[in-house]
Amino acid sequence: MLHDAIIEGMDKEKAEISAITNNTDAPNFDNTIVALTQSGGMLERATTTMYNLLSAETNDELDELANEMAQKLSDHENDIMLNEQLFTRVKKVYDNERDQLDGEDRKLLDKTYEAFERSGATLNDTQKATFRNITRELSEYTLKFSQNLLKETNNFVLHIKDEKDLGGLPDINKEAARFEAQSRKMEGWVFTLHAPSYGPFMMYANKRNLREQMYMAYNTRCTHDNAYNNFKIVEHIVNLRREVAQLLGYKNYADYALRRRMAQNAENVYELLDDLINSYLPKAKEEVAQVAQKAKELEGDDFVMQPWDFSYYSQKLKHELYDYDPDMLRPYLELSHVQKGVLALATKLYGITFKENKHIPVYHPDVIAYDVFDKDEAFLATLLVDFFPRKSKKGGAWMTNYRDEHCDLPCNQQVTANNSYRPVVSVTTNFTKPTNDTPALLTLNELETFLHEFGHALHGIFAMTHYAALSGTSVFWDFVELPSQFMENYATEPDFLGTFAFHYKTGEPLPQSYIERIRKSRNFLAAYSCMRQVSFGLLDMAYYTQTSATSEDIKSFEHDAWHRVQLLPQVPSACMSVQFSHIMAGGYAAGYYSYKWAEVLDADAFFMFKEKGIFDKDTANSFRTNILSKGGTEDPMTLYTNFRGQEPTIDALLHRDGIK
């Protein structure tokens, strides 16, 4: 059925494109640019469904469909973007009407013209043929990368039969492992490489050899001599992206990608990364030395800390310094309460409401669907939430759209929620699952993850633009993380926690003493965490600033790229590149720095809320009006300064992290 919908969607879009190119009227904004942006609706719905399910609820049949369609969809996209008649019309509109347009119309025209340029429309016939071959290969390799990683993740389990091997693990994690074993019809306890299982094991398990086993299994995924090895795939992806960029006249892929980013060029990215290194690295070294010293105190002076020890001993140090243990919060962060609290935060800030709708068909029983209404009761969006890990779901957390907001009104008319096609937005995570005896109890990190993805969702929900191409999260990649990271700030605010953090058995509110411990310990390892993110950014930029084919051993390349900020011993057989979905199969190639870039923005933005009040409705309305609802209709720095009244500085981030 999905196969037929994709094929029919491609046929329909071909007809729609032909109608544009065969139009005998002179090209203008409406009959060419608007007509183009309104084409392909059926295909977009079908492929969006396929790719979203490929991440959230895949199976062998869907994997095969995606593999079959990768080349066909790449060819179809190239047939449109390399269509000379179509580009001739677009160029005429760009040359003749651009100076007469403003607002969203001009933004759409600029984005459309740039998209053709960046997709090879200005190349000669020989170059276009090369472009087609490269993009076809790239679509196949990126898909294969993701499929390999999911299968390799699912292939490993740590099966424990002796309860003595569970020493140090909290009861809730042991119960979850027993539940996992039972679901697999196995005795004892089962731990997996999915985050809710892997993370606590590395933090609490006393058996060092088992921590090492888990660490090695996780960090050597897709490095083994089997069908899921990604070494050559990484090499192909990086080289193909460089070839595309150079074919289009750019020095390297980073120059190509950063043209559509706030950072604009690699020099500005490195300036940010260098500023962070200079500000955070000395403190990060001190933090790691403190953890290493704690390990020696407990194990003896001859003990040499390895990467599989860091989470374990840092947690012991954190407990000693702040009397803080992440698991002490779990009983107060029961998922249904957290869910109500997060949705209520949006109500408090923006006046919107959420009503569960059980009549909406969903792709898995875990998924909950909500209708979202504005403060005037106008329908805003549909929100889907999908919380728990399963074999058919990739790791991590993400927000996506099943449908973008757009409006068919002429652009001189006011857009409202009642006269536009409203979005269908999904928040997908891999939270700790409930068991037979215990509901889903979250960690503080999982609460932050929920808030992060919900921030992305609000960006989609509040979209109020005329064109889907400029709607919601369709913004520069280093701006898209602002709404999400902004929401994370609420996770440690007492006035927010007090609205939902009640003990799941007794109803007792989260003790004030716990909140104080959270706040005091918030900056524990902040510098180390920053350097870890910076290391990923350095690796990303190292790959995509290359001007010639990469042929160096991937592991050696990786170690060279981030060596100046690596704070723990490097394990020779470990390799992140073959698992780094963000920059290999996601949208973050030459863009991983975006998290830190947006962190500067979110710290600066939340500083204003702290000054005015974290629930201040006027400030929230300004954030919604100037940022959340505008999508990509204006330059992101313009949107930000319209909200904040000034450009951001790194000062708020340094202050929040306790560096300054």
Supply the residues annotated as catalytic.
Answer: 453
Going from the C-alpha of 138 to that of each of 73, 143, 236, 238, 616, the distances in angstroms are 12, 9, 8, 9, 47
CB neighbourhood size of 408 (10 A): 11
Dihedral pair phi/psi, residue 307, rounded to 5° = -55, -35
Q: Which amino acid is at 498?
A: G
CB neighbourhood size of 358 (10 A): 7
> Which residue's entry shows tokens 């043929």?
129
CA dihedral of residues 324, 326, 329, 330 (deg, nearest 10): -160
Specify which residues 427 forms β-bridges with.
385, 399
Dihedral pair phi/psi, residue 359, rounded to 5° = -90, -10
Helix/strand/coil for 121: coil
CA 260/CA 365 separation, integer angstroms: 39
CA dihedral of residues 332, 335, 337, 341 (deg, nearest 10): 100
Burial of 407 (0-12, 13-18, 19+ CB in 10 A): buried
DSSP 491: G
H or E element that contains 345: helix 335-350
Instruction: Tell me how many helices (H) and strands (E) the chain has.
Output: 26, 9
Query: Secondary structure of the chain: what % helix, strand, coil (to 5)?
Result: 60, 5, 35
H or E element that contains 314: helix 307-322
> Which residue's entry shows tokens 């020696």?
296
* Whether the Cβ atoms of residue 486 and residue 602 lie closer than 8 Å to each other: yes
- For 203, residues 6+ apart whose C-beta sits below 8 A from its C-beta are 311, 312, 315, 326
* Whether the Cβ atoms of residue 278 and residue 611 lie closer than 8 Å to each other: no
Burial of 256 (0-12, 13-18, 19+ CB in 10 A): buried
* Whether the Cβ atoms of residue 593 and residue 575 lie closer than 8 Å to each other: no
